[in-house]
Amino acid sequence: MERWAFSLVLCLSVAGFMASSHAGQSNGSFSFQDNFDIMWAQDHFKTSPDGQVWYLDLDKETGCGFQTRQRYRFGWFSMKLKLVGGDSAGVVTAYYMCSDTGPERDELDFEFLGNRTGQPYTIQTNVYKKGVGGREMRHILWFDPTEDFHTYAILWNNHQILFFVDRVPIRVYKNTDKPNDFFPNEKPMYMFSSIWNADDWATRGGLEKTDWKNAPFVSSYKDFNADGCQWVDPYPDCVSTTTQNWWDQYDAWVLSDDQKKDFAWVERNLVIYDYCKDNERYPKLPDECSISPWD
């Protein structure tokens, strides 16, 4: 099936899900100015006149990035992104959660891998626990992410981590009731976003290099929402940003029936790489690969 033909099929599948899902309940989007700091290259950052849209650009000199001032432990975290259009080979726009920059970090990643003009973007997701990643999945999309804003979100609680695109679950990462080394649930995390050059690996394994004649490459962001448990120092505790805590109730611990239908569709049509099916890379599959996402 052609990539653009996915749209009609998915719209039919998602209709019930959009009406009934708990995903995306919130108390409104947060102010960028009040919740984020620019991490580097302030001169590569711009904002719309009303401050509601942020723009990061990449040129041959540097990229740019921002992060939340607050850390969170569990919750729903979403942002609307519009990705670099045209020839974006070698360019990576990242949207992720991370505990710190040290070697023992926990991390939940969305990475959007650019491509030559006319070729689809690839979404790579990854999960780190105590500095160990290697849990990549890659998907293609059912729309062009450069034409308009789309919502990318992470639902994180002690039972599962869900990666969403426009409320459609594209990846399910489960915990167990036993101590393990694969599910990040102990460290609070900041939310980050950045744009950077990764033409040594990002497009066709590094075969397609960034064409700097097209610089600056610009990614756009708006409508950040964090509905979760905000970490409070110096106490090892957190305070909910809402009173409902819907993101840590039973309905958020498992996939709903509608989510299962959409997730099954994604698995059949959009997955192009899954580390749990890479027996050459992992002759002995990691422990988490034996956990069913459906339970």
Catalytic sites, residue numbers = 107, 111
What is the distance between the alpha carbons of residues 91 and 71, in angstroms, rounded to a whole number?
A: 27
Question: DSSP secondary structure string, 55-92?
Answer: EEEE-SS--EEEEESS-EEEEEEEEEEEPPPS--TTEE
In the beta sheet, which residues pair with residue 18? none
Measure Cα distances from 130 to 105, 181, 203, 240 in Å: 5, 8, 27, 25
Q: Among residues 145, 15, 6, 173, which one has the least CA distance to residue 80?
A: 145
| Helix (H), strand (E) at residue 282 | none
Phi then psi dihedrals of residue 173, to 5 deg: -125, 110
249 Cβ contact partners less than 8 Å away, ≥ 6 residues apart: none
145 phi and psi angles, rounded to 5 deg: -75, 0
DSSP state, residue 283: S
Residues in the chain: 295
Distance CA 88, CA 119 (A): 10
Angle between helices 6-20 and 257-269 (to 10 degrees): 160
Q: How many CB atoms lie within 10 A of CB 163?
A: 24
